[in-house]
Structure 1
Amino acid sequence: MINYQHRSRGFTLVELVIVIVLLALTGLFVFNYLGFGAQIFRDTTERDQLVSQSRFALNRLTSELRNAVPRSVRVSVADSQRCIEFMPILASSQYVRIPRPGPPSVSNVPFTAIAPTTLDGLVGGYLLVYATTTQHIYGNATQRRKEVTGVTPPVDNLVDISYSPNTFFVTDSPVRRYYIGGMPISWCYDETSRGLYRFEGYGRLNNQPSFADLQLSTATSAELMAENIYNDLNNSEFPFKVFEATLYRNSLIQFDWRFRRDAAQEPLEILHEVYIPNVP
């Protein structure tokens, strides 16, 4: 009779320790590999978001500035150039006749103009004729700026514009151009929250309102347009600069925005220029 003996075999303690160590090293490698990939994805997503929001704010402000009344753009050096203000164009065309200083046949004529593209929303706007400085546009004097009180329906593509105060215009435009501007708009950089805000509804003011003034105004609506801006105003990193128009150059507005992600020291500096035609 044949007797078979079966021997039970297992793993030694050394073999178990080796296997555990190898599994730990493999798991650590796989975890680090997956974590590295997730970090790359996270960084790429955050960079895309930073670029997208900066592009949105840049395109929006550029579009609004290109529709601004010439010579209406201003920044305040006293407020570290953190805010830019301008008056948007509601309508623009050419006039046929305007009241001017002189005899009644000249000073008592109505303001007759070629009808603009739209007549909606013009009442309450500012009628401007050859306003060549910010004081003409925002100041207390009304020789070149009036407030629109009514517009007649077009007849043969001509309209009469009534305004207040009902006085003559002190000068003509060389190209007989007029603008109707809306309520001013401001874009401001908040160094505390690192945000870029858009303000409107505060009305026309002789002196440009500061960022603090706009924050305290109850009639002002504020919108956050961009985040993660790290301009150092104490180091002359001013977000807005305005170069006035000359006989040989249009008005030039320059943006200098320093974006950065919260989790990384990766600056994204945007330098952008916008030209506004010098045709008051």
Structure 2
Amino acid sequence: MRRQHGFTLVELVMVIVLLGIVATISVQFVSLSTRGALDVGARQQRALQAVVVSEQISRELRNAFPNSIRISGNCLEWIPVEAATTYIRLGGPDFDRIPVVPFAEAPETGNRVIVYGYGGSPDDLYTVGSGRGPLSSPIQSIDDSVSPPEIVLESDHRFNGQSPERRLYVVGEPISLCQAGSFLRRYSNYGFNTSQSIPPAGTGAVLAANLTGPVEFDYSPGTLERGAILRFAFTLKDPAGDEITPVSQEVQIRNVP
């Protein structure tokens, strides 16, 4: 009789056990590799978010009017510069007209003029409607039919000081950054207010999300010898875990009154 060959029950059990061990190791390896890739991707995404947010804040602050920075709690406010030139004469006989050196690019109407030296409070830069002070009434037009060209204001305005270098700035409406829970929001188009609003009217556009802890603003005002310096810091948190990415940036605001 011909003898038959095959596997014993013990051999089959051993093979099944070995295959189970190999499968378990393989699943763990794939799981850990996938988890590591996801963690690296999340870190890279937070790092990219940190770079984009800090660079956007820095670029806007570099165009802030010198000494217009105001900080209250977790809110930062400044006045953006739209254009600049040198004035020829400041004052009468026509207090609604300012002769200036021609702009490289004419500013939009509706913006305002600031002429500012040193002294006083940043709140003075936000005061409108009095007909006096460093901040003028809105610009009605730029009159290029005369030489030198003149800025035409909507109403008479008397500036309460001269710039050391006869500098004149055209500025837009204030901008604010305020923390709202885990969001950092950017507020604009809410107008000038003598006292800082916390936060300003409106919901604001989301500039950053997934914040943990407070956003910190630290400001060193400019002087005759140096520009102003603003430091800001915030921390981003992984929404699916506990990992955090701290962000810190320092911005120099040129002081050219």
Aligned to 1:154: 144
Maintained 8 Å contact 2:53/2:207: yes
**In the alignment, does 2:240 pair up with 1:263?**
yes
Deviation per residue, 1:161-192 (Å, 9 max, x gap): 1224403222211111001110111112222x
Pick from 78, 85, 88 the counterpart of residue 93 of structure 1.
Answer: 85
Q: Matched residue of 1:249: which SS?
A: coil
Say whether the 8 Å CA contact 1:146–1:164 is kept in structure 2: no
State the match for 1:12 in structure 2: 8
Gaps in structure 1 of 5+ consecutive residues: 100-105
Quote the Cα distance in structure 2 between the aligned partners of 1:254 and 1:210: 20
1:111 has 2:98 as partner: yes
CA distance in structure 2 between the aligned counterparts of 1:111 and 1:153, rounded to whole angstroms: 10
State the TM-score, normalized to the length of structure 2.
0.90
**1:73-105 Cα deviation digits (max 9, x unpaired):** 1111xxx2x111111111111011111xxxxxx
- Name the residue aligned to 1:33: 29
Residue in structure 2 matching 1:254, options 231, 234, 239: 231
Further displaced range: 268-277 or 150-159: 150-159
Q: Who is 1:73 aligned against?
A: 69
- Residues 1:197 and 2:185 aligned together: yes
SS in 2 for 1:158: coil
Q: Are 2:116 and 1:130 equivalent residues in the alignment? A: yes
After superposition, give the CA deviation of every residue in 1:120-159 in whole Å (9 maximum; x if it has no partner). 42x2112111164412211245322112332334358732
Q: Give runs of aligned pairs for residues 181-192 of structure 1, distance below 5 A.
A: 181-191=171-181
Count how many residue pairs are aligned between Structure 1 and Structure 2.
252
Letter matched to residue 125 of structure 2: I
Query: Which of residues 206, 211, 215 in structure 2 aligns to 1:224?
Result: 206
Instruction: Give 3-state SS (helix, strand or coil) of 2:87's partner.
Output: strand
Q: Does the 8 Å CA contact 2:183/2:208 hold for their aligned counterparts?
A: yes
Aligned-residue RMSD, C-alpha: 2.0
- Look up the match of 1:241: 218
Preserved CA contact (<8 Å) 1:200 1:221 = no
Give the ranges of 4+ consecutive aligned residues of structure 1 lying more than 6 Å apart after TM superposition. Answer: none
Tell me the CA shift for residue 262 of structure 1: 2.6
Query: Aligned partners of 1:17, 1:63: CA distance in 2, in Å?
Result: 69
1:277 matches 2:254: yes
Instruction: Say whether 1:207 aligns with 2:203.
Output: no
State the 1:263 CA deviation: 3.2
TM-score (norm 1): 0.83
Asked if structure 2 preserves the Cα contact closer than 8 Å seen for 1:128 and 1:180, the reply is yes
What are the Cα deviations for residues 202-224 of structure 1, in whole angstroms up to 9, with x where unaligned? 1111111113xx3xx3xx46222
Distance 1:43 1:64 in 2: 32
CA distance in 1, matches of 2:239, 2:249: 23
Listed as ranges, the gaps of 5+ residues in structure 2 are none
- Give the counterpart letter for 2:246 in structure 1: E
Q: Cα deviations across residues 14-51 of structure 1 (Å, max 9, x unaligned)?
A: 21211111111001111111111111110111011000
Q: 2 CA distance for matches of 1:51 and 1:196?
A: 16
% identical aligned pairs: 27
